[in-house]
Structure 1
Amino acid sequence: MAVPQILLNSFKNFAEYPTNLVFELEPTEELKSYRARLTHSTQPSRKLVHFLDLHCSSNSPQIDLGEAAITGDSDLKLWLETGIESSLPRPRPAQQINSSKGQIQQGQASKNETRLSVAAQLVFNAQQAPLAESATPVDVVYKRDPKCRFIFLHAANSRSPLRISLTMLTKIFTHHQVMAAFVEFISVFVFQGSPRGQRFSGFKARTQLSHPDATSSSGLGRSGLYYHMCYNFRSAARSMNDIWTIRQTVFYHQFDIKEGTALWISAKGNLDMKAMIDEAVKRMDTNDFQDVGSCFASTLRIHTLHSQLCTKGWLEYIEYLENELDRVENELAPLMSGQGASYVGSERRHTREITLYDLQKVQYVERKSYEALMTLEANIKIISSLRGFYANILETNISLGHLYTQTDGRDFSQNLSNTKSETESFETRFKRVFHLAGDQRSVVIKQLEFQSSNKLEISSRKMENLSYSTFALGVLAQREAVAVRIITIVSLIYLPCSVVSSLFSTDIVKFQTGTIGIYKTSFSSLALQRWLQVTLPLTLLTVVLGFFGYRYEKLRQEKEIQSQVEKLKNPPKNDETEDGDSFSGI
């Protein structure tokens, strides 16, 4: 059988991925948890998966390209089994690459394309023939894996699910027996409000080099001797609203060390990876795939291309943070030197002062620089892991000696070293910004504490003055209360008799002695009128004079209170000379 039954059973049960994998070392419970993550990283609508297959022909120096933009489950099934994009294909010439000019040319279809066209016609006839439904089902004859296949998964942005359905994703991963650990990498593409999942990074690799496993299939062109890995790199990019974010790209790679076939799966928040690979493929020819060693060398070049993401956008990002920090420092420098808000005595001369908003701006630069430091450190570790993986398998597996040439290995190692050095230079600059922002934050915090202490001191002075004023006012009030009480008592005693005496001394009521010695009383209304005409104006004048007297006394008391406060605040020093002499004597 072209395809082993165990592999066919895995294909049939693709919906159970990753528990349906033929060879997987992860525990079953762990595999089930991966399955739950896939549900959140996919979406049933807006499906679009790009394929780029590279085929080589022995009688042609050019590479045959097979490209497809798959939007449905049926088209995906047909592409994986036959390499045909649609069940009703439109005849078109194959795209070819001119290795000398580096341009894609149109040419005659290769024998491989001709065979695919025949297969497509058979599918079309099967769909049209009325007896096809009653025909006995036959085993599916799968197309051999291309020499190199690129699968591009993408999302609307880095915080959205991938534009692929769960069925399509599990079918692709099952067909290529993608390691379950890759689910952990693509699970960051989910609906989320904050970039928490974007902080994930790692490198995982597995090898099957000693003996073929159950995935070996002559029909698919798989020897069962392979290694596969998954990793991610993160870069900095500016969004449309001028906000800098850290975005990641995840990769899966599988290489058959006997057949020389390679598989690449990438996932990103856009299609930048497709454009990058399309540009790189233009520079390839059949010499890059003429034998297993050439295929292996081409995979190293793709890894080098991926590693360039470690340095993408970081220069602009560090310059942005440096400019932000300089701008904040320039704003706060006058305030730090005393040209901003200052305090003289108990009064403030300027309204501008350092606020919590200034502290937040400094903390923003510090937080972003620290986040960038952690990201760059993770990228450096992944580069080291990638280089160490290839160095290890080539040193410990003698059977892989035919894959390795000193030139390829030296170039690969040197390219990764250059990328690592450039990344470390960015890391150094981010460390500088991080420490400067931390120092600036400490200064701002101390300035805020100083302003708070000044405000507290002014408030305490005001409260002290208020307490002194209250005390002095209480003393004066006590004195006046005693005087008023005495006057009130005296007035109450003498008021009745003085009023009666005053009234009886007038001509209003007069007591006279008659001729025969009998007293008689007389009353004069005219006298009463004259008395009122004189008394009322005098009463009004008395009230006015009393009012002005009250105002004068109030001002006098305020001055007295102020003097009392000054005496309380600055008590006289007794025996100052003697104290000074005694101090000198000591």
Structure 2
Amino acid sequence: MPAFIDFIAVFAHPPRQKEIGFSGFFDQTTLSYRPTTSNAAQQSSTGALPTANTAQPLTQAVKVPRGPTITALGRSGRQYQMCYNLKRVARIDDKSSNKFTDQDWSIQQSQFHHQFDVEQGTTLWMNAKGRLKDYRDKVLELTGSAKGIPEELTFDTTENCFRSSLIVHLMNCHWATGDWRGYLNHLEIAISSLTDEVPVGIWLNKNFTPKVLQDVQQFEEKASSAVMVLESNMEVMTEMRKFYEKLITNDEFPMKDPCAEDVLAFVQQLNNMVHAFSGQRRRAILLVDLTGNRKNLLLQKLQSLATKKMEDLTTMSYREAIIMKVIAGGTFIFLPATFVSTFFSTDVVKYQGSSSGKGDFSWEAMRIWLAVTVPLTVATFVIGFLVFYLADERRKRRLPSSYDEKEKDA
């Protein structure tokens, strides 16, 4: 089918999980005959052309298949064909660590093309998959390989060929079921280990970092991809079920009656797998919702933590500004006293005119200087502290912050 080229084109990209959302089921049925006529009686056995007076009819109806007839390939022209793809999940690493966040899982896809001739019973299968060995081993196991074909697969009659094709379809669908339970369990435990403290405990937790938010976002995207893949597998299996249900009711299908029960059993197994996928899909959707809610709450906590840090920084800057104002005020107040102290400092050491330039030290002058300077210095610190305290209290009433609560708790 031309549509199979689209499925093959998926593997033209580098192996980086691209086009994981591409999915589809295409079918084509050519079971009926094309109404036409043939001049079979146009020439008699003697080679003479028929005339209008002869009783032999000029034309007669001929059954011509709608599809192409290739006798050498066992194709009668009455056939149906389909192409579809399925995806599974598999763990691709063997790390010794038991941490679920360290596990590496891969979503793998496989493309299938199937063609079946309803008269000759010939079957054509085409499959495309990265690392085809695992699928090939399952095919050889199912078909018996060198050990002989199992009893379930027989090709002695057209009906048995048709039944065997249904078994291969089921094998493809079972391949897609994979280890979805283990993969979703991996996502649940990984997300739980990252976000269990988010809805409980203290609001501002230093363990919450942007790296945690980044990891949660990554697992949320994986869970969303799992939902999409599960839905695509369900749609493909549903379309396959509808195709065979419609085929078994087609009057042009020669195996309508002898293979009716086989198709019903095949449809029932497809329904069971679709139902299993539906349960895993609901589980994945719940995980996406839970992860999204916790991610939003984590984002709010990170924003609160950043706001708290900004408040603390603003508070410290404001307090430093008050201290600088107090220092500046004290400097202006004691600026005249500094000049006075400098002026009177000449009494501390009395110089006598001598060639050595040495003078006599005056303890009386030092005592007077200390008696005046120390009380003024203490008074300056007290006044500065009172000014700072009053200004800070005014700031707390106008702009309270978490920095004040932390000091109160301490």
- In the superposition, the TM-score normalised over structure 1's length comes to 0.54
1:385 and 2:239 correspond: yes
Aligned position for 1:410? 264
SS at match of 1:197: coil
Residues 1:251 and 2:73 are matched in the alignment? no
Match of 1:308 among 154, 158, 174: 174
Gapped regions of structure 1 (runs ≥ 5): 1-178, 342-351, 509-527, 572-586
* Contact 2:31–2:66 (CA under 8 A) maintained in structure 1: no
Name the aligned partner's letter for residue 298 of structure 1.
Answer: S
The answer to whether structure 1 residue 442 and structure 2 residue 296 are counterparts is yes
Counterpart check, 1:560 vs 2:360: no
Match for 1:566: what amino acid? Y
RMSD between superposed Cα atoms in Å: 3.4
Q: Residue 267 of structure 1 aligns to which amino acid in structure 2?
A: A
Structure 1 partner of 2:26: 204
Q: Counterpart amino acid of 2:88?
A: S
Q: Compute the displacement of 1:320 (Å).
A: 0.9
Q: Which residue of 2 aligns with 1:122?
A: none
Aligned residue for 2:407? none
1:268 aligns with 2:129: yes
Change (3 A) 1:468 1:296: same
The superposition leaves residues 412-449 of structure 1 with CA deviations (integer Å, 9 ceiling, x where unpaired) of: 11000011011111112112221221122122112112
Rounded Cα–Cα distance in structure 1 between residues aligned with 2:371 and 2:238: 95
Q: Residue in 2 aligned with 1:215?
A: 68
* Alpha carbons 1:225, 1:257 under 8 Å: kept: yes
How does 1:51-450 map onto structure 2 within 5 Å?
A: 179-192=1-14, 194-211=16-33, 212-213=65-66, 215-240=68-93, 242-270=103-131, 271-282=133-144, 284-285=150-151, 288-330=154-196, 332=197, 336-338=200-202, 341=205, 352-395=206-249, 397-404=250-257, 405-450=259-304
2:307 & 2:125 partners in 1: Cα distance?
63
Return the index of the structure with the highest Cα Rg: 1
The structure 2 residue matched to 1:534, chosen from 344, 359, 362, is 359
What does residue 325 of structure 2 align with?
471
| Per-residue deviation, residues 126-158 of structure 1 (Å, max 9, x unmatched) | xxxxxxxxxxxxxxxxxxxxxxxxxxxxxxxxx
| TM-aligned CA deviation for residue 467 of structure 1 | 2.0
Give the alignment partner of residue 315 of structure 2, picking from 453, 457, 461.
461
1:198 maps to a residue whose letter is I
Q: For residues 219 and 310 of structure 1, do their structure 2 counterparts lie closer, same or farther at Cα, with a shift above 3 Å needed?
A: closer
Deviates more, 1:426-435 or 1:228-237: 426-435
Unaligned runs of 5+ in 2: 34-64, 95-102, 395-410
Change (3 A) 1:542 1:372: farther
Q: Is the 2:83–2:112 contact (alpha carbons within 8 Å) kept by the matching residues of 1?
A: yes
SS of aligned partner of 2:112? strand
- Structure 2 CA distance for partners of 1:433 and 1:227, relative to 1, 3 Å: same
- For 2:238 and 2:378, the matched residues in 1 are separated by 86
Deviation of 1:279 (Å)? 1.6
C-alpha distance after superposition, 1:282-326 (max 9, x if no partner): 353598323222222221121111111231111111111121122
Identical counterparts, % of pairs: 24
CA distance in 2, matches of 1:182, 1:371: 24
What residue identity is the alignment partner of 2:202?
G
Kindly report which structure 2 residues correspond to 1:482-521, keeping only aligned pairs within 5 A, or say none: 482-484=336-338, 487=340, 491=343
| Contact 1:231 1:251 (C-alpha < 8 Å) held by counterparts | yes
The structure-2 alpha-carbon separation of the partners of 1:374 and 1:389, relative to structure 1 and needing over 3 Å to count, comes to same
Counterparts of 1:407 and 1:451, CA distance in 2: 66
With structure 2 as the length reference, what TM-score do the two structures score? 0.75
